[in-house]
Amino acid sequence: MFSKLLRAIIMGPPGSGKGTISGRIVHDFGMKHLSSGDLLRIQIMNSTAAGLEAKKFIDQGALVPDEVMVQLILNELREITNHSWLLDGFPRTVPQAEALSDKLDIDVVMNLDVPFETIKQRLTARWVHPGSGRVYNLDWNPPQIPGKDDVTGEQLIQRDDDKPETVTARLRNYENQTKPLLEFYSAAGKLVSFHGTESNIIYPKVKDFLATKIPPVTDDQSQSVKQ
């Protein structure tokens, strides 16, 4: 039934629970979770040709060109020969997706479809105590006194990234950037979307789907993947 390793991509807007769900996938199925940002840093640290080329652009404050990013990602993916993997954060554009597909056969693209209003409510409910870094959520972990830190009584603040206008702009930018990518993978027959408002609702659907592709692992096998 399970004849080969799975090459998967996971997509989802900021605040969709992508990190939580990816962690559960790693635990339950032994897949390697590959963050494009981590892969970029590894290639730069190892001074590969693609890593050094990318560093030139980063040092200049410029975007790393598609062809360089694709080569960076491929360098790492080709080293993984005995594990299924879950790519996160790449590709971000259709040209990147096309270049990746030319070199590798992607089995499935899993899209976490969480309503933007749910994400906006979740992120804008977050407040922090700047002195200690303590985080409060007005929905499920509110301070005892509104607007005040429980320990010091000092004023809580909302980070710029969590302000409603910033969250709305981030989600709009994500949608504009991602829509062509979702259409590309949908046309290729690779896209599977999972709908829900929270990770505990979405993940069982993801788990059931993945169980038709690769076998779940034992806890011992899961630990070996993390090491």
Whole-angstrom CA distances from 81 to 25, 36, 139, 156, 221 are 19, 18, 44, 48, 16
Quick one: pLDDT band at residue 79, thresholds 50, 70, 90?
Answer: confident
Could you give the domains of the chain? 7-115+178-217 (3.40.50.300)
Cβ atoms < 10 Å from Cβ of 106: 17
Residues of the binding site for AMP: 36, 41, 62-64, 89-92, 96, 159, 170
Arithmetic mean of pLDDT over the chain: 90
Residue with tokens 């929270």: 198
Residues of the binding site for GTP: 15-20, 126, 135-136, 199
State yes or no: pLDDT of 8 exceeds 60: yes
Say whether 158 sits in a helix, a strand or coil.
Answer: coil
- Token code pair at residue 140: 């499920």
- Token code pair at residue 46: 């190892």
User: pLDDT per residue over 24-78, tens digit each?
Assistant: 999 999 999 998 888 888 888 888 888 898 899 888 888 888 888 888 888 888 8
Query: Catalytic amino acids?
Result: 18, 92, 126, 159, 170
Which of 72-81, 136-145, 167-176, 181-190 has the weakest average pLDDT?
A: 72-81
Quick one: pLDDT band at residue 226, thresholds 50, 70, 90?
Answer: low
pTM: 0.83
Residues of the binding site: 15-20, 36, 41, 62-64, 89-92, 96, 126, 135-136, 159, 170, 199
Side-chain-side CA neighbours of residue 145 (13 Å): 10
